Amino acid sequence: MSPRGRLIVFLFGGAGLAVLFVLATGHLPDFGGSWHPYGERTVSNALLRQTPNVVSSINFDQRAFDTLGEELILMASALAAVVVLRGVRAEQEEDAGAHAYGPAEVFDALRITGYLLLPVTLVAGVYIVAHGYLSPGGGFQGGIVLGSAIHLIYLAGDYPALARVRPVPMFESGEAVAAGVFVLLAVAVTGHVTAMNAAVGLEVGCAVVLVLARFFDQALLVRTSS
């Protein structure tokens, strides 16, 4: 596309975004004010359901809808990363063991910190997923913590160990199954918050690991065969 064509497309999209943005934000309540129309509506809706826990009801009943959207967006981006960054014909992948990628020369302090933080972070992630219905957090947040926690192994300098810990096919099927389970739970409206959280956490954690795995492959293992 020529620069001129791109500019026209941008101006078109930008103008549309500006109009929608002004329309959407024009009637928002003032920052830090005491008038909370959204809060009043959600709380009265939650009270209609006769729930014992209003906060959980808002988080997991009324807002499960946007968790579904977020989760499917994440799944789409993970899929895109896997498709775009796959090995093409002119490239070939090297075996992780063929390199001196690990255990690498890192400071002992960094290595020990990584190994000490790994179990702590994993437990914190599981806690955030499991306790999400009572405290801030939930499946999405806990899943991201779990997914990024595994990469502490890489930061501690051991890429082969990281590659052994996360077999990609298992994470691919884990992500797909978890996304399917979440959609089923959301459609069936079972209202089982813990199961829903676990499904979201599994899906998000797998997606983060998969996206990062593709980037690791590109950065460390893929090369163009001459």
Partner 1 sequence: MADPVVVAALLLTAFMATAVVLTRDPACQAIVLSAYGLVLGILFVVLQAPDVAMSQAAVGTVVVPLIVILAIHAIRRHHIRSSGDGDAP
Q: Which residues bind partner 1 (CB under 8 A)?
A: 31-32, 128, 136-138, 140-141, 144-145, 147-148, 151, 208, 211-212, 215-216, 218-220, 222-224
DSSP label at residue 184: H
Nearer to partner 1 (CB atom), residue 60 or residue 185: 60
Give the burial string for 149-179 (b: 16+ CB within 10 Å, else e): bbbbbbebbbbbebbeebeeeebbebbeebb
CB of 8 to partner 1, least distance (A): 27
CB of 172 to partner 1, least distance (A): 18
CB of 28 to partner 1, least distance (A): 14
Nearer to partner 1 (CB atom), residue 1 or residue 219: 219
| Cα 23 from Cα 26, distance rounded (Å) | 6
CB of 12 to partner 1, least distance (A): 27
Nearer to partner 1 (CB atom), residue 82 or residue 220: 220
Place of tokens 């796959």: 86
| Cα 168 from Cα 164, distance rounded (Å) | 9
